[in-house]
Amino acid sequence: NAGVTQTPKFRVLKTGQSMTLLCAQDMNHEYMYWYRQDPGMGLRLIHYSVGEGTTAKGEVPDGYNVSRLKKQNFLLGLESAAPSQTSVYFCASSYSSVITEAFFGQGTRLTVV
Amino acid sequence: GQQLNQSPQSMFIQEGEDVSMNCTSSSIFNTWLWYKQDPGEGPVLLIALYKAGELTSNGRLTAQFGITRKDSFLNISASIPSDVGIYFCAGQQVSGGGADGLTFGKGTHLIIQP
Protein backbone atom coordinates (compact mmCIF):
# COMPACT_ATOMS: atom_id res chain seq x y z
CA ASN A 1 0.00 0.00 0.00
CA ALA A 2 1.75 3.15 -1.22
CA GLY A 3 -0.23 5.67 0.88
CA VAL A 4 0.75 9.21 -0.12
CA THR A 5 3.35 9.62 -2.85
CA GLN A 6 5.01 12.89 -3.79
CA THR A 7 7.04 13.66 -6.90
CA PRO A 8 9.66 14.90 -7.35
CA LYS A 9 11.65 14.37 -4.14
CA PHE A 10 14.18 17.10 -4.89
CA ARG A 11 14.23 20.07 -7.23
CA VAL A 12 16.33 23.16 -7.80
CA LEU A 13 14.69 26.08 -9.60
CA LYS A 14 15.92 29.43 -10.77
CA THR A 15 14.02 32.50 -9.67
CA GLY A 16 11.07 33.07 -11.98
CA GLN A 17 10.79 29.48 -13.19
CA SER A 18 7.60 27.51 -12.74
CA MET A 19 6.97 23.97 -11.62
CA THR A 20 4.28 21.61 -10.42
CA LEU A 21 4.50 19.24 -7.49
CA LEU A 22 2.38 16.13 -7.74
CA CYS A 23 0.73 14.31 -4.85
CA ALA A 24 -1.08 11.01 -5.25
CA GLN A 25 -2.93 8.99 -2.61
CA ASP A 26 -4.42 5.54 -2.92
CA MET A 27 -6.48 5.51 0.29
CA ASN A 28 -9.66 6.97 -1.22
CA HIS A 29 -9.36 9.99 1.06
CA GLU A 30 -11.60 12.98 0.49
CA TYR A 31 -9.32 15.62 1.99
CA MET A 32 -5.88 16.54 0.72
CA TYR A 33 -3.45 19.20 1.92
CA TRP A 34 -0.24 20.93 0.98
CA TYR A 35 2.07 22.10 3.76
CA ARG A 36 5.46 23.74 3.77
CA GLN A 37 8.02 23.14 6.49
CA ASP A 38 10.67 25.69 7.34
CA PRO A 39 13.21 25.55 10.19
CA GLY A 40 11.68 26.75 13.43
CA MET A 41 8.28 27.30 11.81
CA GLY A 42 6.72 23.87 12.00
CA LEU A 43 4.31 22.93 9.22
CA ARG A 44 2.14 25.62 7.66
CA LEU A 45 -0.88 24.94 5.50
CA ILE A 46 -0.69 26.33 1.97
CA HIS A 47 -3.89 25.06 0.33
CA TYR A 48 -6.26 22.20 0.89
CA SER A 49 -9.09 20.37 -0.83
CA VAL A 50 -12.19 18.81 0.67
CA GLY A 51 -13.04 16.83 -2.44
CA GLU A 52 -12.56 16.41 -6.17
CA GLY A 53 -12.89 19.74 -7.96
CA THR A 54 -12.65 21.85 -4.80
CA THR A 55 -9.76 23.83 -3.33
CA ALA A 56 -9.35 26.37 -0.54
CA LYS A 57 -6.66 28.65 0.81
CA GLY A 58 -4.72 27.82 3.93
CA GLU A 59 -2.47 29.95 6.09
CA VAL A 60 0.21 30.82 3.49
CA PRO A 61 -1.35 30.57 -0.01
CA ASP A 62 0.37 33.48 -1.77
CA GLY A 63 2.54 32.46 -4.73
CA TYR A 64 0.94 29.01 -5.05
CA ASN A 65 -1.94 27.51 -6.96
CA VAL A 66 -3.53 24.08 -6.66
CA SER A 67 -5.83 21.80 -8.57
CA ARG A 68 -7.78 18.67 -7.67
CA LEU A 69 -9.09 17.32 -10.95
CA LYS A 70 -9.08 13.73 -9.73
CA LYS A 71 -9.84 12.54 -6.21
CA GLN A 72 -6.53 10.78 -5.86
CA ASN A 73 -4.33 13.64 -7.08
CA PHE A 74 -3.57 17.10 -5.68
CA LEU A 75 -1.21 19.36 -7.61
CA LEU A 76 0.71 22.32 -6.22
CA GLY A 77 1.96 24.89 -8.71
CA LEU A 78 4.51 27.64 -8.44
CA GLU A 79 4.03 30.05 -11.35
CA SER A 80 7.09 32.22 -10.71
CA ALA A 81 9.38 30.76 -8.08
CA ALA A 82 11.02 33.03 -5.51
CA PRO A 83 13.85 32.30 -3.07
CA SER A 84 11.34 32.66 -0.22
CA GLN A 85 9.68 29.51 -1.53
CA THR A 86 12.74 27.44 -0.73
CA SER A 87 11.31 24.88 1.65
CA VAL A 88 10.31 21.28 2.16
CA TYR A 89 6.79 20.65 0.89
CA PHE A 90 4.57 17.93 2.29
CA CYS A 91 1.35 16.59 0.92
CA ALA A 92 -1.13 14.91 3.25
CA SER A 93 -4.55 13.31 3.02
CA SER A 94 -7.30 12.40 5.44
CA TYR A 95 -10.53 10.46 5.15
CA SER A 96 -13.00 13.19 6.12
CA SER A 97 -13.63 16.17 8.39
CA VAL A 98 -14.68 13.74 11.13
CA ILE A 99 -11.85 11.22 10.77
CA THR A 100 -9.12 13.81 10.56
CA GLU A 101 -6.01 11.68 10.94
CA ALA A 102 -3.74 12.95 8.20
CA PHE A 103 -1.17 10.77 6.46
CA PHE A 104 1.86 12.45 4.95
CA GLY A 105 4.06 11.89 1.94
CA GLN A 106 7.84 11.89 2.23
CA GLY A 107 8.25 15.46 1.12
CA THR A 108 9.74 17.47 -1.73
CA ARG A 109 12.82 19.53 -1.01
CA LEU A 110 12.71 22.61 -3.22
CA THR A 111 15.52 25.11 -3.54
CA VAL A 112 15.03 28.34 -5.46
CA VAL A 113 18.24 30.10 -6.41
CA GLY B 1 -4.09 31.86 12.04
CA GLN B 2 -4.46 29.70 15.12
CA GLN B 3 -1.38 29.26 17.27
CA LEU B 4 -0.22 26.15 19.06
CA ASN B 5 2.46 26.56 21.68
CA GLN B 6 4.50 23.40 21.97
CA SER B 7 7.06 22.88 24.70
CA PRO B 8 9.77 22.18 25.33
CA GLN B 9 11.49 23.14 22.08
CA SER B 10 14.14 20.49 22.65
CA MET B 11 14.96 17.83 25.21
CA PHE B 12 18.26 16.18 26.02
CA ILE B 13 17.68 13.00 28.00
CA GLN B 14 19.38 9.77 28.95
CA GLU B 15 18.24 6.46 27.51
CA GLY B 16 15.64 4.91 29.79
CA GLU B 17 14.24 8.21 31.05
CA ASP B 18 10.61 9.21 30.70
CA VAL B 19 9.70 12.15 28.46
CA SER B 20 6.86 14.65 28.68
CA MET B 21 5.87 17.34 26.22
CA ASN B 22 2.76 19.41 25.76
CA CYS B 23 0.83 21.73 23.50
CA THR B 24 -1.44 24.59 24.47
CA SER B 25 -3.71 26.86 22.52
CA SER B 26 -5.92 29.86 23.09
CA SER B 27 -8.53 28.21 20.87
CA ILE B 28 -10.64 25.12 21.40
CA PHE B 29 -9.83 22.13 19.24
CA ASN B 30 -12.01 19.16 18.38
CA THR B 31 -9.09 16.89 17.57
CA TRP B 32 -5.54 16.55 18.82
CA LEU B 33 -2.95 14.50 16.97
CA TRP B 34 0.65 13.68 17.78
CA TYR B 35 3.22 13.02 15.05
CA LYS B 36 6.88 11.99 14.92
CA GLN B 37 9.21 13.05 12.14
CA ASP B 38 12.54 11.40 11.39
CA PRO B 39 15.18 13.26 9.32
CA GLY B 40 14.31 13.34 5.63
CA GLU B 41 10.90 11.79 6.19
CA GLY B 42 7.33 12.97 6.47
CA PRO B 43 5.52 13.11 9.81
CA VAL B 44 4.10 9.81 10.98
CA LEU B 45 0.96 9.69 13.08
CA LEU B 46 1.46 8.35 16.61
CA ILE B 47 -1.79 8.99 18.45
CA ALA B 48 -5.15 10.59 17.64
CA LEU B 49 -7.45 12.06 20.30
CA TYR B 50 -11.08 13.00 19.65
CA LYS B 51 -12.70 13.53 23.06
CA ALA B 52 -11.95 15.94 25.89
CA GLY B 53 -10.34 14.04 28.74
CA GLU B 54 -9.45 11.11 26.51
CA LEU B 55 -6.29 9.22 27.46
CA THR B 56 -4.84 6.97 24.77
CA SER B 57 -1.77 4.76 24.68
CA ASN B 58 0.30 3.37 21.84
CA GLY B 59 3.00 1.13 23.30
CA ARG B 60 5.27 3.30 25.45
CA LEU B 61 3.48 6.44 24.30
CA THR B 62 0.54 7.96 26.14
CA ALA B 63 -1.32 11.10 25.11
CA GLN B 64 -4.17 13.01 26.68
CA PHE B 65 -6.75 15.43 25.33
CA GLY B 66 -7.10 18.20 27.91
CA ILE B 67 -10.43 18.77 29.64
CA THR B 68 -10.52 22.40 28.49
CA ARG B 69 -9.93 21.21 24.87
CA LYS B 70 -7.12 23.76 24.69
CA ASP B 71 -4.21 21.48 25.46
CA SER B 72 -2.73 18.04 25.01
CA PHE B 73 0.14 16.07 26.50
CA LEU B 74 2.40 13.33 25.19
CA ASN B 75 4.45 11.08 27.45
CA ILE B 76 7.07 8.55 26.39
CA SER B 77 8.14 6.02 28.97
CA ALA B 78 11.55 4.36 29.16
CA SER B 79 13.02 6.13 26.12
CA ILE B 80 15.14 4.18 23.63
CA PRO B 81 17.50 5.41 20.90
CA SER B 82 14.89 5.07 18.13
CA ASP B 83 12.69 7.62 19.93
CA VAL B 84 15.03 10.34 18.68
CA GLY B 85 13.28 12.73 16.33
CA ILE B 86 10.97 15.71 16.22
CA TYR B 87 7.53 15.37 17.79
CA PHE B 88 4.71 17.58 16.60
CA CYS B 89 1.32 18.21 18.08
CA ALA B 90 -1.47 19.14 15.71
CA GLY B 91 -4.98 20.32 16.34
CA GLN B 92 -8.02 20.72 14.20
CA GLN B 93 -10.96 23.02 14.64
CA VAL B 94 -13.82 22.28 12.27
CA SER B 95 -15.60 25.45 11.27
CA GLY B 96 -18.18 26.43 8.70
CA GLY B 97 -18.97 22.84 7.78
CA GLY B 98 -15.48 22.12 6.41
CA ALA B 99 -12.01 21.32 7.72
CA ASP B 100 -9.39 24.03 7.70
CA GLY B 101 -6.55 21.59 7.92
CA LEU B 102 -4.39 20.79 10.88
CA THR B 103 -2.58 23.51 12.83
CA PHE B 104 0.85 22.30 13.92
CA GLY B 105 3.04 23.17 16.84
CA LYS B 106 6.67 24.01 16.10
CA GLY B 107 7.90 20.67 17.37
CA THR B 108 9.88 19.19 20.23
CA HIS B 109 13.29 17.90 19.22
CA LEU B 110 14.10 14.83 21.31
CA ILE B 111 17.77 13.97 21.68
CA ILE B 112 18.92 10.93 23.62
CA GLN B 113 22.38 11.08 25.08
CA PRO B 114 24.36 7.84 25.32
Non-local CB neighbours of B87 within 8 Å, separated by 6+ positions: B21, B34, B35, B36, B37, B46, B74, B107, B108, B110
Report how far apart, in Å, the C-alpha atoms of B81 and of each of A51, A89, B17, B47, B72 are: 40, 27, 11, 20, 24
Pairing assessment for the beta strands A19-25 and B71-76 based on DSSP bridges = unpaired
Which chain A residue shows the shortest CA-CA distance from B91?
A: A100
Identity of the highest mean pLDDT range in A56-60, A94-98, B25-29, B77-81: B77-81
How distant is the Cα of B3 from the closest Cα of chain A, in angstroms? Answer: 11
At A55 the pLDDT is 95
The pLDDT assigned to B97 comes to 42
- How many residues in total does chain A contain? 113
User: Nearest Cβ partner of B31 from A35, A41, A100?
Assistant: A100
Q: Is A84 in a helix, a strand, or coil? A: helix
Grade residue A100 by pLDDT with cuts at 50, 70 and 90.
confident
**Is residue B98's pLDDT more than 50?**
no
Chain-wide mean pLDDT for chain B? 90
CB contacts of A104 in chain B (<8 Å) are: 35, 42-44
- pLDDT digits over A34-92, tens only? 999 998 788 999 999 999 999 999 989 999 999 999 999 999 999 999 999 999 999 99
